[in-house]
């Protein structure tokens, strides 16, 4: 049975776990409070000296957890919707593409920090209006014209679907089970990439660190029969696109930080997913502002 808990000791709030591994119990490094894998408090030093120590009430705080294929999603909100509702039509779109996510195998993780606000990073992900100019290799592989490049929204989900067009300058072999690309964004900050060719997905969040800095990681998954040569092609290609995007988002951050621009302008057709992102963000901020203050704060 899959379970998830806040990584916080119920005694004084210290993180109880770090890294990864296999254990039968979890022990907090601060005062050695020990928990079972079901979250229950197994031992607390000197608790026998406490009258009426409420051991049964001091287990780790459980949180919602569910899976889609090999991907595990956890949510700390106490009133979150089921994962199937949060994902919207993304699993169906992926299945219609012919990609069986249950068969995918984890390959590697890429990590980076960007000198840009997380909203800038998300908005860059949400449009390919810049692809013809800034991603020449990607534009050789995908038809990013307004007529061919499909955009859609579904609740918190924004989706981009691009047909392939192999030219003599295309850097990747596009023959394989997947005839099109799909790029999905689950608000507020999860990106999913599927490139044409062999079975593949990369998935990961854009995490705000501070107003001008964002952390990113992507976990890469491939079908079990995908050969190493094709994996190397995709990883090299995606690394190039990532370096190009880093220059773009950090450039926007520098431009906005100069303080002279009152606001920008959205292209209603090509950048409609950014408008959707901004609408969801605005609604969330308004809902937060409307909540009554918590007691004592």
Domain definitions of the chain by residue range: 1-62, 82-281
pLDDT score of 168: 60
pLDDT score of 173: 76
**CA–CA gap between residue 78 and residue 147 (Å, rounded):** 42
Query: Is 21 within 8 Å of 33 (Cβ atoms)?
Result: no
Annotation: CATH topology of 82-281: Naphthalene 1,2-dioxygenase Alpha Subunit; Chain A, domain 1 (3.90.380)
Return the CATH superfamily for domain 1-62: Rieske [2Fe-2S] iron-sulphur domain (2.102.10.10)
pLDDT score of 262: 85
pLDDT score of 166: 66
pLDDT score of 169: 63
- For 95, other C-beta atoms within 10 Å of its C-beta total 11
Per-residue pLDDT for the chain (297 aa), expressed as one digit of tens each?
899 999 999 999 999 999 888 999 999 999 999 999 999 999 999 999 999 999 999 999 999 999 999 999 999 988 889 999 999 999 999 999 999 999 999 999 999 999 999 999 999 999 999 999 999 989 888 999 999 999 999 999 999 999 988 666 666 778 889 999 999 999 999 999 999 999 999 999 999 999 999 999 999 999 999 999 999 999 999 999 999 999 999 999 999 999 888 888 999 999 999 999 999 999 999 988 887 776 655
Q: CA quadruple 47, 49, 50, 55: dihedral positive or negative?
A: positive
pLDDT score of 170: 65
DSSP states of 80-148: PPPHHHHHTTHHHHHHHHT--GGG-EEEEEEEEEESS-HHHHHHHHT--TTHHHH-HHHHHHB--STTT
DSSP one-letter code for 239: H
């Amino acid at each position: 049975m899959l379970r998830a808990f806040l990584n916080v000791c119920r005694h004084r709030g210290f993180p109880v776990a770090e890294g990864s591994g296999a254990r039968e119990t979890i022990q907090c490094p601060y005062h050695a409070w020990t928990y079972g894998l079901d979250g229950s408090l197994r031992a607390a030093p000197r608790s026998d000296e406490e009258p009426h120590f409420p051991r049964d009430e001091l287990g780790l705080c459980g949180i919602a957890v569910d899976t889609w294929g090999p991907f595990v999603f956890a949510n700390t909100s106490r009133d979150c919707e089921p994962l199937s509702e949060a994902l919207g039509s993304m699993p169906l779109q992926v299945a219609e593409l012919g990609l069986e996510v249950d068969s995918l195998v984890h390959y590697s993780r890429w990590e980076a920090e960007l000198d840009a606000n997380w909203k800038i990073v998300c908005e860059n992900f949400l449009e390919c209006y810049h692809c013809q100019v800034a991603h020449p290799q990607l534009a050789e592989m995908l038809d990013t014209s307004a007529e061919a490049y499909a955009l859609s929204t579904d609740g918190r989900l924004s989706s981009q679907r691009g047909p392939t067009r192999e030219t003599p300058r295309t850097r990747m072999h596009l023959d394989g089970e997947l005839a099109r690309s799909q790029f999905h964004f689950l608000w507020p900050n999860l990106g999913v990439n599927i490139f044409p060719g062999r079975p593949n997905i990369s998935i990961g969040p854009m995490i705000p660190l501070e107003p001008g800095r964002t952390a990113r990681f992507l976990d890469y998954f491939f079908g079990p029969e995908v050969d190493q040569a094709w994996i190397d092609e995709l990883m090299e290609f995606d690394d190039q696109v990532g370096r190009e995007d880093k220059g773009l988002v950090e450039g926007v951050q520098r431009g906005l930080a100069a303080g002279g621009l009152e606001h920008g302008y959205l292209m209603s057709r090509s950048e409609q997913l950014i408008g959707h992102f901004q609408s969801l963000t605005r609604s969330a901020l308004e809902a937060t502002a409307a909540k009554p203050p918590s007691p004592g704060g």
